Structure 1
């Protein structure tokens, strides 16, 4: 079972799942995906939050990838309440 935190949103779940399934992605590609119903601009903001918490990494040019912490969360092995913003990935 995934243990989310107060700061997380449904968009965060979709971003992490998208990156797991596609290896990398941009907010534009995510917004165009049939199962993600959020705007590019909102996804971009949420990606920054996920980067700050070490769940995804920004490769530049708005390309994001899942980190080991992001994978651990998706596998139900990480409680997001234990993460601090800007914690090392």
Structure 2
């Protein structure tokens, strides 16, 4: 999990959904659209977001629990690239 992951989740929760383009235009996010897109996919892999298609994501119950402090990131399922890639 990165600082940007928390911000991405917070914005999507507040706005009910989000895309990489919308998030890149947000004043609260200071990374590129391509980096946001990678983080959206990673958060979905871990069950914190759900893809609706066409690049639109919504927060899941697990994502809400994470933001509220009821779910530890260490409890999330790991993808095969976790801890071994600079994009994870």
TM-score after normalising by structure 1: 0.85
1:74 paired with 2:67, answer: yes
Paired positions, count: 79
Q: What are the ranges of 5 or more consecutive residues in structure 2 without an aligned counterpart?
A: 80-88
- Equivalent position of 2:54 in the other structure: 61
Cα distance in 1 for residues equivalent to 2:55 and 2:78: 20
Give 4+ residue runs of structure 1 displaced > 2 Å after superposition. none
- Equivalent position of 1:45 in the other structure: 38
1:17 paired with 2:3, answer: no
Deviations along 1:27-80, whole A, 9 cap, x unmatched? 100000011111110000001110000000000000000000000001110011
Q: What are the ranges of 5 or more consecutive residues in structure 1 without an aligned counterpart?
A: 1-7
Cα distance in 1 for residues equivalent to 2:69 and 2:11: 16
Higher relative contact order (CA 8 A, sep 6+): 1
Q: State the shift of 1:85 in Å.
A: 3.1
Q: State the shift of 1:11 in Å.
A: 1.2
